[in-house]
Amino acid sequence: MNLLTNVSQNGPGRIHARGFSLLELMVVLGIIAIMALFAIPSYTASSLKSNREQVAEAYAHIERLKPLVAAHYALTDECPDNASEAVEGYGIAAANAYSGHFTNSVKTGGESSDDGDCTITAQFKSTGVTEVIQNTQLAVRLFGVESGVPKWACHTSAEQAGYLIVPKVCRFASSTLAQAAQAPESAAATPSDSE
C-alpha cells in the first residue's frame, strides 16, 4: 500500500488522501537544507581548529627553544645539537624528550656560520595526526641577528594543502623563501624630474 497514492472513501463524496503533499515534502527538504547550511561550516571550522591545535604543539616547542638556541649560538658560535642527548647548561633537552601527542621529536642543530644557520626542526608523527602533516616537518632557521634580535625563518615540508593549519609565518617551502619574505624590499629607484 503506497502512502502517497492511497485514497480511501468515508461515505458518499468524501475522499481523504493519506500521505504527504508536495508542499509538505518541500518544507521538510527546506528545513534540512537550512540545518545543513549551519552544520557544514561549523564542522569545517571545528576540524580546522583541531588540526591547528596539532601544529600548535610543535610550534610551541619551537618557540620555547628559539631563545635557548640563540643564547647557545651567541656564547659559543656553534649550533646546539640535541639529536642524541640534551645540551647541558642551556635547558635544551634531547630531541625525543619533546615527543607529544602529535610531535615525534624536536631537533636542534645546523652548521654555524656568520649568520647563524642554527635550525630547530619539529617532526610530526606518522599516525594520530591529520593526514596533511603526517611525517612532515615544521622548522625554523636562524639567519642573522639584527640589533641584538635573532631573526628566524620558518618553513614546513607539508604540501600546500597543509598551509591552512600552519602559522602564517611558516607557510613557505624552504627557509630561503621565508628569509626572502622577511627581507626589507629594496627602495625602488624613482625617476628624476628633468623639467
Distance between CA atoms of residues 119 and 178, nearest Å = 13
Distance between CA atoms of residues 92 and 157, nearest Å = 24
pLDDT of residue 49: 73
Q: pTM for the full model?
A: 0.69
DSSP character at residue 10: -
Contacts 24+ apart (CB under 8 A), 49-57: 50/130, 51/130, 51/132, 51/133, 51/164, 51/165, 52/165, 54/101, 54/102, 54/124, 54/129, 54/130, 54/133, 54/165, 55/102, 55/133, 55/138, 55/165, 55/166, 55/167, 57/100, 57/101, 57/102, 57/103
Instruction: Assess contact for 87 and 72: CB atoms under 8 A.
Output: yes
**Domain layout of the chain by residue ranges:** 54-182
With a CB cutoff of 8 Å and minimum separation 6, the contacts of 73 are 79, 80, 112, 116, 118, 142
Distance between CA atoms of residues 130 and 132, nearest Å = 6
Distance between CA atoms of residues 160 and 13, nearest Å = 70
CATH class of the 54-182 domain in this structure: alpha beta
Task: Look up residue 67 and give its three cell numbers.
Answer: 631563545
Per-residue pLDDT of the chain (195 residues; tens, 9 = 90+): 445 555 555 556 666 667 888 899 999 999 999 988 887 776 666 676 778 888 899 999 999 999 999 999 989 989 999 999 999 999 999 999 999 999 999 999 988 777 778 999 999 999 988 888 889 999 999 988 888 889 999 998 888 767 778 888 888 888 888 888 876 543 333 344 444
pLDDT of residue 189: 37
